[in-house]
Amino acid sequence: MLSEEEKREIDEEARRYPLRSAAAIDALKVVQRHRGWVPDEAIRDLADFLGVSAADLDGVATFYNLIFRKPVGRHVILLCDSVSCWILGSDRIKEAMSARLGIDYGETTADGLFTLLPNPCLGACDHAPALMVDGEHFQDLDGPKACEALERFRREEAAP
């Protein structure tokens, strides 16, 4: 069941489009912002609310790589695995972060703090390798720099 707040925010977004169904991505983002991810029941509820089929909305949700269809950590790490980033060492960064966090792609740390996901492109080929955490870009990385970026998020979580 969509909350009243979710409905209000989705209605606000939908007013910007000539067709209510065009607000699908915005609606998915609203649910994700409130819940941290988009569960199956939310897909069904959103589809009814937007007047589209659940299958069509699920297609949008699974295509768009920034919509999370299963629970994720409080901080989502998107590591670019494009050709440019790969050539410049994104695989070594992934190994360093996996070793530091004890997780692989698609996994979440035991404390629920981080989820590590591959990303096909972060648009930073001129500053590769790159990653993004919660919308913040980190570029020109190596393993130690990437791990230090993550530690900043850990410190912020621990701060009173």
Please check whether residue 68 lies inside any domain of the structure.
no
Q: Give the CATH number, domain containing residue 49.
A: 1.10.10
Q: How many CB atoms lie within 10 A of CB 146?
A: 25
How far apart are alpha carbons 112 and 71 in whole angstroms?
10
- pLDDT value for 158: 83
Number of domains the chain is built from: 2
State the virtual CA torsion across 52, 54, 57, 61 in degrees, nearest 10: 160
- pLDDT value for 142: 93
- pLDDT value for 65: 87
Q: Are 34 and 25 in contact (CB under 8 A)?
A: no
- Both 113 and 56 in one domain: the answer is no
How far apart are alpha carbons 132 and 139 in whole angstroms?
9
The string of pLDDT tens digits covering residues 121-157 is 999 999 999 999 998 999 999 999 999 999 999 998 8
Residue 138: which domain range? 75-158
- Both 58 and 97 in one domain: the answer is no
- Both 80 and 114 in one domain: the answer is yes
State the virtual CA torsion across 151, 93, 124, 62 in degrees, nearest 10: -90
Please check whether residue 152 lies inside any domain of the structure.
yes
- Both 26 and 80 in one domain: the answer is no
Look up the pTM and report it.
0.86
- Both 58 and 104 in one domain: the answer is no
- pLDDT value for 159: 81
The string of pLDDT tens digits covering residues 72-114 is 999 999 999 999 999 999 999 999 999 999 999 999 999 999 9
- Both 124 and 56 in one domain: the answer is no
- Both 147 and 81 in one domain: the answer is yes
- Both 80 and 55 in one domain: the answer is no
Q: Give the CATH number, domain containing residue 139.
A: 3.40.30.10
